[in-house]
Amino acid sequence: MITRELAEALAARGLEWAPSSGDRFLVPDRDLDDEVFVISGMSIEVAELEFGSEMRFNGTVEWALDSIARDEVIWLPREEQLRDALGERFLRLESVTGGFAVVLSAGSEVPSEAVGPAAAGVAPAEVRHVDIDAERAYARALLSVLP
C-alpha cells in the first residue's frame, strides 16, 4: 500500500479521483490516522458464534449519520489505478532485490535514474522507479510524469 505522503503528493500534483467501490482512503487529523477505510455498497460484519464465525450481510448502513467530504480524505490508489494512470508510458513491473521497479518509456522529462543508451546526446529509452512495495514504485513513477 502506498504511504500517506505519496498519496498526498499525488493529490497535490492533480491525480483525479472518482470514488468507487473498493477504493481505500484515510481520514486525517481526526484520531483515525492509522485506519484505512474502504468504500463498499454493503456492510459485512463477522460475528463470532459458539460454533465458529458467521459473515453477516447487512446491506447499506442507512442509519449511519457520519459523513465526510471527499476533499477531506486522502485517497490511497491501488496498483491497477496507478498503472492505468501511467497510460502508455508504462512498460513493465520488475522484481528487484528488496522491492520492485516500475519501468516507463522515457519522455522529455527524464530524471537522472534513467537507464538506456549511454551515448552522449541519446535520450535513454527507459526510466526505472524503485521502491520496497509495488504500489509505492507505481506512485513514484506517476509522480515523475504528472505536471
Identify the residue with better confidence: 50 or 118. Answer: 50
> Where are the domains positioned within the chain?
18-76, 79-147
SS3 (DSSP) at 97:
coil
Residue 121 pLDDT:
53
What is the per-residue pLDDT across 86-138, written as a single tens digit (0 to 9) for each? 999 999 999 999 999 999 998 755 454 544 444 445 557 999 999 999 999 99
Could you give the maximum distance between any two Cα atoms of the chain, in Å? 72
Percentage of residues of the chain with pLDDT beyond 90: 59
The answer to whether the pTM exceeds 0.85 is: no
DSSP 116: S
b (16+ CB within 10 A) / e for 87-101: eebbbeeeeeeeebb
Residue found by looking up cell 535513454 in the block: 124
DSSP-assigned beta bridge partners for residue 102: 93, 129
The chain-wide mean pLDDT, for the chain, equals: 86
Q: How far apart are CA 5 and CA 12, in angstroms?
A: 10
Residue 123 pLDDT:
55
What is the per-residue pLDDT across 69-83, written as a single tens digit (0 to 9) for each? 899 999 999 999 999
DSSP-assigned beta bridge partners for residue 121: none
Q: How far apart are CA 147 and CA 145, in angstroms?
A: 6
Helix (H) or strand (E) holding 26: strand 24-26
Residue 67 pLDDT:
77
Q: How many CB atoms lie within 10 A of CB 2?
A: 26
